Amino acid sequence: MDRWKGRVALVTGASVGIGAAIAKSLVQHGMKVVGCARNVEQIQKLAAECVNSGFSGTLIPYKCDLSVEDDMLSMFSWIKVQHQGIDVCINNAGLALPEPLLSGKTSGWRTMMDVNVIALSVCGREAFQSMKERKVDDGHIININGMCGHRVLHNADLHFYTATKYAVTALTEGLRQELREAKTHIRVTSISPGLVETELTYRLFSQNPEKAAATYKSIKCLQVADIANAVVYVLSAPPHVQIGDIQMRPVEQLT
């Protein structure tokens, strides 16, 4: 990770869970990390923790609504002015809403598409343009996907969410191909965790918190640090190595 010291990373959805763990880990490794989310107060607390821990990097909180393109474009413009641009983009933000295909609300489907697919694509595009402008040829875009991007569970509440994650799988490979055609050495990787103990399931089952709690108690889940470690592993790979996708499950997870 030495070559990333002092360089700039963007982590979306950095206020809680996987995003917060990734942001903290990159700061620990000496990077300047712009952590964005709607709840910027949580990132400010995390930034203070990083300072108190004596980490060599810096966490810069930025308030951004990833369902609004103008918010994202303003964020990239601000990063350009304040920090020249970004070298690493971690597309972590995502959400699951219980909206089945036969009875779900269109508004819920749109919200998932806006954050899980459109925001990820906008941030990937703008990250590439930032790298290209500054002739950065060793940058990295990492999409936090999920096992739902590789199989369909027998759970109606997850079917539309699963479609957005299949989109992430396709977008990651499409981006890899376009980067190769552009004759650049910028890399793109998808990380696909199985069941991780985060707030996502509690939000998914907000009307039934007992169901969420039971899900996490059923097996020993992945922890957010496991995904942060996978990000560090990907970034630590030699520049000639393209890691396409990391699929990781709890040992006890069947599907």
On the CB side of 202, how many CA atoms lie within 13 Å of its CA? 9
| Residues contacting residue 207 through CB under 8 Å, at least 6 positions apart | none
Please give the Cα distance from 72 to 52 (Å, whole number).
30
Phi/psi for 85 (5° steps) reads 160, -175
Are the C-beta atoms of residues 206 and 151 closer than 8 Å to each other?
Answer: no
Please give the Cα distance from 249 to 255 (Å, whole number).
9
Q: Which residues are catalytic?
A: 161
